[in-house]
Chain A
Amino acid sequence: MDFSFTKQQEMVRKVVSEFAKNEVEPGADDRDLTGEFPEDIVRKMAGLGMMGIPYPKEYGGAGGDYISYILAVEELSKVCASTGVILSAHTSLCCYPISKWGTEEQKKKYLVPLAKGEKLGAFGLTEPNAGTDAATQQTVATLEGDHYVLNGSKIFITNGGKADVYVIFAMTDKSKGNHGISAFIVEKDFKGFSIGKIEDKMGINASSTAELVFEDCIVPKENLLGDEGRGFAMAMETLDGGRVGIAAQALGIAEAALDETTKYAKERQQFGRPIGKFQGIKWYVADMATRVQEAKMLVYRAAWKKQVGKMKSTDAAYAKLCASETAMYVTTKAVQIFGGYGYIKDYPVERYMRDAKITEIYEGTSEVQKMVISGSLL
């Protein structure tokens, strides 16, 4: 058993870490307050080939591996979880289904500019009445000659309003239940497609979360992604990959919170000594560090399995459940150890705690991960 990273993976981590510290971290607190989407940063990431790490060069990617991509999400999320999820949603949820099920024409037209970062991607599955119960799709796609007509709406869509290309799921045959769901590639300028409400969130404020509205939206027939009726299975497989990305985001947040905590515990003096000298704090820190290590193992293992084509839904579920709950645990403890300073915005742990919460919710709540895991056992 070999736990070491390749030289390439180590260099990717180093370069993304330097980029994150120099380019992403400086404005992260401000963007959290203003909700400004980091367009400049995404453009720079594109210039460095970060928007298509695991995709082949012939399709605009960096020709790298999945683990390197996961390391990039982790390193970005250490300084800015919003930037982490922008990359994760783009790479795992939009580029992936197009690379896996797209025709050659679709890949050339959409994957190439996406993986180059010339265009930003998003994924639309969730609806007001189709959250965890994703099969209850109410968005409808009707074939009319050479095009489909989409009607309905999607909510809570990461990169919504900022993305150029959306992978959208809609019911093409209601009588077939989830076997009647199909996937479509929708461009932001397609007639009948508009952006609805932009959500005001608890955390990951610099990422965009929006409602997508389809009113007689015309989607050319050639933009059907994969076979008609296969959409639900495609969405579930795509989300398995997405969950590894979110797990890496959660891991990055947890690591950042642990790092801030150890620094603070060494500096903060109470009762004449650094608080890190007190057993109560030592035990907290040991528990936090141990849970970070657990999350690392599961995230990297899932990424490796994805890389070698052996990943099962449970691998992604273990990683996401563990990493997101670790992020919540570690950030909550960090705020507690910082005391009053943890609750105000002068220190970043308050932001980490708000950012961590979403990782237990989106791309499958912790409870959904438990359904996946228990479903494989019982």
Chain B
Amino acid sequence: MNIVVLIKQVPDTNEVRIDPKTKTLIRKGVPSIINPEDKNAVEQALTLKQKYGGEVNVVTMGPPQADVALREALAMGADKGFLITDRFFGGADTYATAKTLSTTIKTVFPDFDLVLCGRQAIDGDTAQVGPQTAEQLGVPQVTYAKEVEVSGNKLTVTREVEDGYEVIELTTPALLTVVKDANQPRYPSISGIFDAYEVDVKKITNDDLKLVREELGLKGSPTKVVATTTPDTQRKGEVFTGNPKECCGNLIDRLNQRHLI
């Protein structure tokens, strides 16, 4: 089974603070980690490889320092790492990212059976890159995958939904996004860490993908960030007094005014 895992290096949000003046993330000195659910995707890939054989290729798009994330995945047991890095890719939103990732998959892994992603990243929290990549690859997708069984080219995927599970059958090639309950990602082994730095991580630039500039990075991103704000934590609650009927009436009026109901 030829598996491609898409991972993202993110700031460890447990350590991130917001600059009260600029309202942006203070990234300085914050350690970078593999997005937690992407580790679940790596684990899923390694488990499938152990069961059914094949190869696990890990791909990330990011600045040169994202190399560390690939090395960690290699230390967990992945076979090869690929770093998509080019200054033209900078500032990409989920659409442009999915475009770049899907083009990479088509170019480098034309015979892939399965693409695995984490459900969503803890920095952007969009959960869009996986589904968009599947669309651009033109393959079926299952999001929120918890269990995966393989029989020939047929996949049986148990999908987590709010009030239970869905079991979905589909054929490869396909893309799945994996939830954190799917598994417990293994620790990289110490020997794996030293091995991971003995191999080359292949760098992929736009020279390999040959996308037009307008489809890349900030230029290729339909999302435009107008402003970012942080919720005001100084807000005060409002206490309604009177009999219960009056209070409920006032509450409903107020919620209506705010367009909350």
Task: Give A residues with C-beta under 8 Å from B.
Answer: 7-8, 11-12, 14-16, 18-19, 47-50, 53, 57, 61-64, 68, 72
Contacts and interface: CB of A to CB of B under 8 A. Distances in A.
Contacts, number: 51
Given A49-B190, A49-B192, 7 more contacts: A8-B193, A8-B194, A12-B190, A19-B187, A57-B191, A62-B190, A62-B191
Contacts of A18: 187
Interface in B173-192: 187-192
- Give the interface centre of B75, B187, B192, B196 by most chain A CB atoms within 10 Å: B187
Nearest to A61: B191
B125 to A, nearest CB: 23
Contacts of A8: 193-194, 197
A344 B234 CA distance: 38
Contacts of A11: 68, 71-72, 75, 188, 193, 196
Contacts of B191: 49, 57, 61-64
Nearest to B68: A7
A46 B75 CA distance: 16
24 contacts: A7-B68, A8-B193, A8-B194, A11-B68, A11-B71, A11-B72, A11-B75, A11-B193, A11-B196, A12-B193, A15-B75, A15-B187, A15-B188, A15-B190, A18-B187, A47-B189, A48-B188, A48-B189, A48-B190, A49-B192, A62-B189, A62-B190, A64-B190, A64-B193
B154 to A, nearest CB: 33
A contact patch SS: helix
Nearest to A9: B193
Contacts of A47: 189
Contact of A68 (B31, B68, B187, B190): B190
A15 B74 CA distance: 13
Contact of B193 (A15, A19, A57): A15
B194 A62 contact: yes
Contacts of B187: 15, 18-19, 48
A7 B68 CA distance: 8
Given A7-B197, A8-B197, A11-B75, A50 B190 contact: yes
A15 B76 CA distance: 11
A53 B192 CA distance: 11
Contacts of A63: 191, 194-195
A49 to B, nearest CB: 4
B190 A53 contact: yes
A18 B189 CA distance: 12
A332 to B, nearest CB: 30
Contacts of A50: 190
B205 to A, nearest CB: 22
A62 B188 CA distance: 12
B190 A72 contact: yes
B170 to A, nearest CB: 34
B113 to A, nearest CB: 29
Interface in B57-84: 68, 71-72, 75
A218 B68 CA distance: 52
A57 B194 CA distance: 11
A7 B71 contact: yes
Contacts of B194: 8, 62-64
A302 B61 CA distance: 39
A144 B250 CA distance: 100
Contacts of A49: 189-192
Nearest to B186: A48
Contacts of B193: 8, 11-12, 15, 62, 64
A12 B196 CA distance: 12
A53 B189 CA distance: 10
Contacts of A19: 187
Nearest to B193: A11
A16 B193 CA distance: 11
Contacts of A48: 187-190
- List the 3 shortest-distance A-B pairs measured between CB atoms, nearest first: A62-B191, A49-B190, A62-B190
Contacts of B68: 7, 11
A49 B191 CA distance: 6
